[in-house]
Chains A and B, each alone.
Chain A
């Protein structure tokens, strides 16, 4: 795929055009990546595609090679791998808190200790997410404003 980047004047809207033979997985992935950079994710429920604002996402979980996006009331499936989303969302206040979960830090109501150096994040929905001991230093750093 050829890539052309043109600089435009400040008064014009920035936009991205994709010219392709067909809208295949690769193209969908590129679109999805760009949307995530703009604060949106693409998720699927029963074959229907939805745009999800990052501010509505509570956490993202990887289960048996599938990745699910959890909002307050819905669970969407996404085509992205968890590590891809981790990379895409690391500047968007999302943090890996266990092997299988990426958590939206803005949705944590409070944190309480679990046994053996682990912690539990209580979300605004009341749902509880375990923060693995391994990721606690990253959480401390992230809350202090570090990346």
Chain B
């Protein structure tokens, strides 16, 4: 992939991640600390977490086009790295109660959910593109037959 194209994809994913992490924080917060208010610091953490989550995306970079098998392997590797670094970041920060097992499981599940949703959104986007291509293909064929 062209480095510029890859960078644009990373930036797009970053902003999607910010939204999804905010959604995850909101859901976990409502379950475990419904009376707490989100601080400016917490909002800032969202941007940092998204930046942290986007860095392993470099695993998906390749000058040559990847095969389906290569994409799947790299996606799994990317998920493992994202999960590990977010959990380490949680243990290193004092924003959440890392001693509470339920909270930590929720964070781990949330990371998986955010990762899955991000990839599902990409798949939906590709399906929309395919639908547009099929529509254009029909018109192209009827115009040229």
Listed in ascending order, the chain A residues whose CB lies under 8 Å from chain B are: 93, 105-106, 108, 110-119, 132-134, 136, 139-140, 142-145
Contacts and interface: CB of A to CB of B under 8 A. Distances in A.
Contacts of B72: 115
A89 to B, nearest CB: 14
A58 to B, nearest CB: 14
A113 B130 contact: yes
Q: Is the interface of B mostly helix, strand, loop or mixed?
A: helix
B13 to A, nearest CB: 13
A145 B142 CA distance: 12
Contacts of B1: 133
A118 B136 contact: no
Nearest to A119: B130
26 contacts: A93-B144, A105-B140, A105-B141, A106-B141, A106-B144, A110-B137, A111-B133, A111-B134, A111-B137, A112-B130, A113-B123, A113-B129, A113-B130, A114-B68, A115-B68, A115-B71, A116-B66, A119-B130, A133-B1, A134-B65, A140-B136, A143-B136, A143-B137, A143-B140, A144-B136, A145-B143
Contact of A113 (B65, B127, B145): B127
Interface residues of B, number: 23
A113 B140 contact: no
Contacts of A117: 126
Contact of A140 (B127, B133, B141): B133
B145 to A, nearest CB: 8
B1 to A, nearest CB: 7
Contacts of A115: 68, 71-72
Contacts of B133: 111, 119, 139-140, 143
B137 A113 contact: no
Interface centre among B60, B127, B134 (most CB of A within 10 A): B134
Contacts of B130: 111-113, 119
A115 B140 CA distance: 25
A142 B137 CA distance: 9
Q: Which of A108, A112, A115, A119 has the most CB of B within 10 A?
A: A115
Interface in B27-56: none
A97 B12 CA distance: 26
Contacts of B140: 105, 142-143, 145
A143 to B, nearest CB: 4
Nearest to B140: A143
Interface in B64-85: 65-66, 68, 71-72
Interface string B82-101: 00000000000000000000
B115 to A, nearest CB: 15
